Structure 1
Amino acid sequence: MLKFFEYNWQVRDEWLNWCETLPEDELFKRRVGGVNSIHYTLFHIIEVEYSWLRAIQEKQDVPINYKDYSSIASLQSLSKECRLEIASFFVDNPTFDSNKQVQPEWEKTSLSIQDILYHIIVHEIHHIGQLSIWAREIGLEPVSANFVDRDMIQVSHYLE
């Protein structure tokens, strides 16, 4: 499962780098489907991952205000900051009980850590697919979603 987090982080970084050359109007343009814009989609991916991982650790959710992250550089910083805490969780808890039940603040029922981790992985992959469609709609090549032949960065690298 950890490999999929590493994959998602690597692809997310590539999308954030891809966005650095995108005209601002395309970055914030309201689009059909998803969560409205390329910029907000990237913010949403980061925020959701962070909230769910805090729930797994039975920590209080920390709301992140979208208005505080109006540039790609600020999203890159947010992603790295949140990822540091998430990577630490995986490194510090290599044998966590994936069947353990936790109840996030925003849920009415408890869920297994395993199901939450699957949800986080699929959520990001889903939104990356939307970004790929939007990239093609504006005539640009999307970031590769290919898992095969990637030089995967180990989770411990993110702690450096």
Structure 2
Amino acid sequence: MQTMFRYNWLVREEWYRWCEDVSVEELQRTRTGGVGGILHTLFHIIDVEWSWIQELQGKSGFQESFESYNGLEKVRKLDAAFRPEVEEFVQSWELSMETRPFFDPRPNGTMDVDAWGEVMRHVIAHQIHHVGQLSVWAREIGKKPVSANLVGKGLINPQLLS
């Protein structure tokens, strides 16, 4: 679990650096698919990660809109503000949390019950899904996307036998 979150954070940082060489207009341009454009998607990834982890802890999620965070530095600052608490929660993950029930009230008055492990994996998959969209949009504007390769990022050190 921790490895995949670290992977997502590393890839997200690489996307921020990728964005530095793209005009504000391109970063904010509404695109086909997803939640909007490149910056809006990065904001959305942060929002969803933070909100789900807040919900698991019984806290309220993030309620602000993208309009308040429509610049690269604003998105980065939001991520930096949220990351320490998210990282603390991820690092405290233990096996007993996998099947802990999460009660998710639905707008129609019903209640879904999911396992915490399922919610955490959803958060991981959510970013990976949107990074795929970012990659397509990068190619549309003529830029090479950030590599999605997990191998070679140094996230797991091999145990070499002597």
TM-score, structure 2 normalization: 0.87
Structure of greater relative contact order (alpha carbons < 8 Å, 6+ residues apart): 1
Partner of 1:99 in structure 2?
99
Q: What is the distance in 1 between the residues matched to 2:121 and 2:95? A: 17
Partner of 1:156 in structure 2?
none
* CA distances 1:123-147 after superposition (whole Å, capped 9, x unpaired): 1000000000000011100001000
Instruction: Give the aligned residue type for 1:24.
Output: V
Q: Is the 8 A contact 2:19 2:72 kept in 1?
A: yes
- State the percentage of identical aligned residues: 39
Q: Is the 8 A contact 2:28 2:70 kept in 1?
A: no
Correspondence 1:11 to 2:11: yes
- How far apart are residue 91 of structure 1 and its match? 2.9
Q: What is the distance in 2 between the residues matched to 1:106 and 1:151? A: 40
Partner of 1:69 in structure 2?
69
Instruction: Give the aligned residue type for 2:130.
Output: H
**Computing the radius of gyration over CA atoms, which structure comes out larger, 1 or 2?**
2
Number of equivalences: 153
Structure 1's unaligned 5+ residue stretches are 154-160
Cα separation, partners in 2 of 1:102 and 1:70, compared to 1, 3 Å: same
What does 1:1-160 align with in structure 2 at a 5 Å threshold? 1-104=1-104, 108-152=111-155
Q: What is the distance in 2 between the residues matched to 1:149 and 1:134? A: 24
Q: What is the distance in 1 between the residues matched to 2:64 and 2:95? A: 29
- How far apart are residue 93 of structure 1 and its match? 4.4
